[in-house]
Amino acid sequence: MTPINKATLYIETVMIRSKFYNTLLITLITVTCITIILQIFSLKKTLVLQPDTHKAVKAISDQSLNGTSSATLIKNNNKWLLKCNIQASSYNWPFCEIALNFFEAPYSKSMKGLDLSSYSSIQLKAKYLNHPNSSIRIQLRNYNDSYAKIDDDSTWKYIGIEYWPDDMGITEIPMKSLQVASWWLNEQKIPIHLSAPEFDSVMVIEISTGNKIKPGQYMLELEYIKFTGKFFTNSQVLYTLIALWVFSAIIVLLLNLKHSREKLTNTAREAQELKQLNQLLNVKTKTLKDKAERDPLTGALNRSGIQPYFTQKQKKLSLIFIDIDHFKLINDIHGHLVGDEILKEFVKTISENCRNTDIIARWGGEEFLLVCPDTLLSEAFELAQLLRKIMDEKTWVNNIKLTSSFGVAQRGDESASDFIERADKALYDAKARGRNQVVMSKPTSHLNPLI
């Protein structure tokens, strides 16, 4: 690739990366804004309890605690109407209440109440038809098997608040305003870490007369109880957005790291290739660099390019003659374009799995020479075995499987043509033995190689 092409490719890459980062940033900002807006103004859920939707309702008075008050519950115009006769007695806290149950008898350990933990507020439409200045209590009775008994409702946590309704009777109560009754905490000896309000298993909701209510006739009307909340808590949304931004930042960092590593690898490889070319071809000028000494298809040296390496006097010079087995069959079945792709990938695979000092050349067709300077015959044989295994195990284009045959020789006191001929003869023997073989040519004694 020419410097101009490399510069153009680099600019295009930078522009693509910049566009990706800008798109990612805009997407994150848009998603964050939309999520926050939806969380504030939408994504709400409600639960409404009223006579036509909830049937497990009953009236309770202090008679269950040895009091003398009485309570009657009726439905009137799709409203609950509690008729309460408060009477003074030995029980000091007389009351009447409407109890909405969320469990079925008989009791069982697997029983689970109503989960209200995701709701943030309660709206009640409840008022006295007489005695308008009297207070109302709302209590949620939550069950937790860490301290409560399923068959003893006195052990269910009392969580509530007392309030004074207005003339309309519509009252909004934040769930966080509800408190656990201190008398119940003391009575049950609840540890501090379990003393906070809980709403994950509400067994009963009680709407009752207030504390210190005076004796008399009371009529308490309850139209509905409505719980309002979010599908997702603010904390969940916040943590999700933080996780999204952190994940995106990690992706960007990894992409930058990958780009930096690729750039460093490419730079190192290019520098190494240039160094190898300068050393082995003794390139002194740009004119020599541009000589047509390489195969245009694979990029490997051609016969002209490899010739200088056989004229150099080296004590240890080995040669690996390589042939792709049944390559003509690949061309016949898959076509020459696929064959060309395999040849290019073949050279690339050899180059990636041998030393930087080794030189690959295309001898002709599907035959290649791998010149290994400063290499003993046994070392070249091991390299050939490694390359043979890699070629055999590799999956090529179009899921093609192929093998290669190898002939290995070390140069002795002989001409370049005799040296190449011996390697070629070893290759021929490898093919004769059934291909996918490595055959080593042992020179005659007068060649005296360093094995």
> Annotated catalytic sites, by residue?
366
**DSSP run (H or E) holding 139:** strand 136-142
Whether the CB-CB separation of 173 and 124 falls below 8 Å is answered with yes
CA distances from 16 to 6, 25, 161, 256 (A): 15, 14, 61, 13
Q: Please, what is the Cα angle at 52 between 209 and 71, to 5 degrees?
A: 30
- Please give the Cα distance from 229 to 255 (Å, whole number): 40
Backbone φ and ψ of 78, nearest 5°: 60, 35
What is the DSSP track for 413-445? SS-HHHHHHHHHHHHHHHHHTTSS-EEEEPPPG
- Please give the Cα distance from 97 to 408 (Å, whole number): 100
Whether the CB-CB separation of 223 and 129 falls below 8 Å is answered with no
Enter the tokens of residue 365. 């067709």
Q: Which residues fall within 8 angstroms of residue 38, CB to CB, at 6 or more apart? A: none
